[in-house]
Structure 1
């Protein structure tokens, strides 16, 4: 159940990023397809974070240490940008126009995810 909840939280956070950041777009036709698109992007973003982020943190741990964790902002932006690229490959209508849109979008996704996680509760995994 926690995986489904995590996908929904990611979808809502990505929706907030689309609303607040110019350069991040979802171009679905109907309301149902828009919801399905956000859920698909939320699942894809969760997979990218679960698979690639630990590898990047392990390999680049010295950069996290030297920059006092600020490189995490860049890593999160690049992972969001990678998610948009993978969505394009999979035919999901999600686009990010450039690094700065991904950067600000990643910050919004992180903040909204954190806030929603406070309300939803902590995972017991």
Structure 2
């Protein structure tokens, strides 16, 4: 049941990220699309992210972990590729969107816990 709540929190976070006007280039058609994007992003983070983090470990160590932000942005951008109706218009919107998504998701999960 907790994974469903986290999925709904991430759905709301994805939808809110698209509503921020100061991040141009991120669009979500509706809440259903946001739900699908949150689900796909969760699966990508579950399967692909650990492999990428392992492969880029030397670069991540050299940048003191800051390269993780780039990885998060690329995976957010990749989600836009897989989900029709969820558009990410480039690397900068993906970077800002992933950063905002992380912060919103963290805050909402902290409130619910």
* TM-score interval, normalised by the smaller of the two chains: over 0.9
Per the alignment, in what secondary structure is the counterpart of residue 65 of structure 2?
Answer: coil
- Give the superposed CA RMSD: 1.0
Cross-structure match for 1:22: 24
Do structure 1's residue 85 and structure 2's residue 81 form an aligned pair?
yes
Q: Give the gaps of 5 or more residues in structure 2.
A: none
1:59 deviates by 1.2
Cross-structure match for 2:106: 114
Cross-structure match for 2:89: 97
Mapped contact 2:15–2:31 kept (Cα < 8 A): no
> Structure 1 stretches (4+) deviating beyond 4 angstroms?
none
TM-score (structure 1 length as normaliser):
0.84
Mapped contact 1:85–1:95 kept (Cα < 8 A): yes
How many residue pairs get matched?
111
Q: Give the gaps of 5 or more residues in structure 1.
A: 28-33
- Structure (1 or 2) with the larger CA radius of gyration: 1
Mapped contact 1:16–1:108 kept (Cα < 8 A): no
Alignment of 1:13-92 (within 5 A): 13-20=13-20, 21-27=23-29, 34-87=30-83, 92=84
1:43 deviates by 0.6
Mapped contact 2:41–2:76 kept (Cα < 8 A): yes
